[in-house]
Amino acid sequence: MSVVDLVARRETKVITLGSGVVSVAASSDGAKVYAVNAHDGNVSIIRTVTDTELTTGSPARISAPPQNFDCHGNPTCAAATGNQTPFAVRVFP
């Protein structure tokens, strides 16, 4: 993901995230940006103050839910069906 200085119209930093980023959304206060990693089945959280991905905390990345909601909490079932492929993220105030 690129961090862009809109005034200077140039890329200032590249943040390495998960695989297959397909959607990006910012929190209402602009403190965090969420990026969907479609190939990894999760969402990266970026702290805008430091322009870095959160790698620790609760949570560092948000996992996509199981494909079959009946499998929640059942690792055998979840392994058989796999995870959903996320494609978008929505941030609500």
Tens-digit pLDDT profile for residues 15-55: 988 888 888 889 999 999 998 888 887 889 999 999 998 87
Asked if residue 65 has pLDDT above 60, the reply is: yes
Taking alpha carbons only, the member of 30, 32, 43, 26 closest to residue 87 is: 43
Classified as helix, coil or strand, 15 is coil
> Residue 45: how many CB atoms within 10 A of its CB?
19
pLDDT of residue 18: 84
